[in-house]
Structure 1
Amino acid sequence: MNPIIRFVITLVSASLASRVGVSDVTRTRMRVLPNDLDLNLHMTNARYLAIFDIAGMEFMIRAGLGRLMVGRGLRPLIGGRMIRHRFGVRPFERFTVSTRVLCWDDKWFYLDQRMETGRGVAAVVLTKGLVRDAGRAQTVRPDELLRSIGAAGEAPSITPEIARWLAAEEMLRVQDDC
């Protein structure tokens, strides 16, 4: 199935599903289809990222951010990802992507997403994302977004794994200057 078709199906089903809180976990269920496969007959690496995008959109819609974003002309953007593949996901194998917000700061939301099959966790990804106001060409603070959906609260502390990832990212930024 083309990722855009999966995306549309997820948009519709997420719009009809029960609302979740920002600290909740969503679970997006799918199956590996023939066009998801590479020459090794398992899900191609590029497809993982598309699947994680779709699962992240489900989380945003169910948390109440989807309607707000459409109404205000806001756009979600991914700033970085770190992924660990544990094993290949096979043709026609069912899998579930769990998505949760770990923490946020004054600019970024940090998500933990896991792809699980009946054989265990196939992949883990940490995602750094923000929301841009397209009309004003500026980033919308996470705490402002959360207040807009009635989910205001203290930002959870940056987790140790996020802190280590950000440190590694900073090291790569220095290499950009070469």
Structure 2
Amino acid sequence: MNLYLRLLLALLKGFRTKQKHPLEPIVSYFRVMPWDLDVLGHMNNGRYLQISDVARMDWMSQARILNAILRNRWGALLGGSLIRYSRALKLWQKYRVVTRVTSWDERWFFIEHRFETMCGKEVACCLTRAALRSKKGWAGTQPIIDEVVPGLQSPAHCPKVSAWLNADDTLVGQQSFSHVAERHSQAAAFDYLTGNQPR
């Protein structure tokens, strides 16, 4: 329930905030609550990924990406995440998450979430990639961006995203989402990834 409350608060914040440019970092503020803790009294490792979901919603709302999603009835899908922890967060501690889109390709938005203490010390850094899908298939990233800032082009992948993609290819045996997409139609690629049909 607390996750849904945080999502609701992020949506309300977005409605009240002036529209931000998609490449502009968005800062979301949180506090460690009792239900966020693990048995050692620190914020649970898995909670960081849930908070990343909320921060990503905050970004989509403030950048008005969410408006395009709702208007076109797209569904959001997460294609992976990578996280590194630097220090612990404790009960009642305030912290912030700085969310920014680093780049995008034909399908995926690559998004960075930096968890920081209120004095700016890094707590964790998380990379995620997200895509949108309609009933007809994958929604390309450029049409989504064009609805918000027409003609805006992606920056080049930063080294950390490129390194992540290379590691991802190794992890799944050279069968990454991008490789699959090159060999299959959009609908077939989705079936392949979700296991709805044999390769």
Aligning the two structures, in what range does the TM-score lie when normalised by the shorter sequence?
Answer: over 0.9
- The match for 1:24 is 24
- The match for 2:142 is 143
Q: What secondary structure sits across from 2:80 in the alignment? A: strand
How has the CA–CA distance of structure 1 residues 118 and 9 changed in structure 2, closer, same or farther, with 3 Å as cutoff? closer
- The match for 1:170 is 169
- The match for 1:117 is 117
TM-score for both structures, normalised by structure 1: 0.93
1:86-140 deviations in whole A, cap 9, x for unaligned?
A: 111010000000000101111111111101014611000111111111x22x111
CA contact (8 A) 1:86 1:123 kept: yes
CA contact (8 A) 2:64 2:148 kept: yes
Percentage identity across paired residues of the two chains: 28
CA contact (8 A) 1:22 1:151 kept: no
Q: Distance in 1 between matches of 2:102 and 2:72?
A: 25
Amino acid at match of 1:154: Q
Amino acid at match of 1:89: L
- The match for 1:131 is 132
- The match for 1:52 is 52
Superposition map of 1:95-110 within 5 A: 95-110=95-110
Structure 1 stretches of 5 or more lacking a match? none
1:10-55 deviations in whole A, cap 9, x for unaligned?
A: 1111111111001101000010000100101011011111101000
Q: Distance in 1 between matches of 2:3 and 2:72?
A: 26
Q: Distance in 2 between matches of 1:153 and 1:71?
A: 20
Higher strand share: 1
Q: Distance in 2 between matches of 1:71 and 1:175?
A: 36
Q: How many aligned residue pairs are there?
A: 174
CA contact (8 A) 1:81 1:128 kept: yes
TM-score for both structures, normalised by structure 2: 0.83
Structure 2 stretches of 5 or more lacking a match? 176-199
Q: What secondary structure sits across from 1:174 in the alignment? A: coil
Q: Distance in 2 between matches of 1:115 and 1:76?
A: 23
Q: Alpha-carbon deviation of 1:148? A: 1.4
Q: Distance in 2 between matches of 1:47 and 1:152?
A: 36
- The match for 1:82 is 82
Larger Rg: 2
Q: Alpha-carbon deviation of 1:175? A: 8.4
Amino acid at match of 2:149: G
Q: Alpha-carbon deviation of 1:2? A: 1.1
Amino acid at match of 1:162: V
Q: Distance in 1 between matches of 2:147 and 2:16?
A: 21
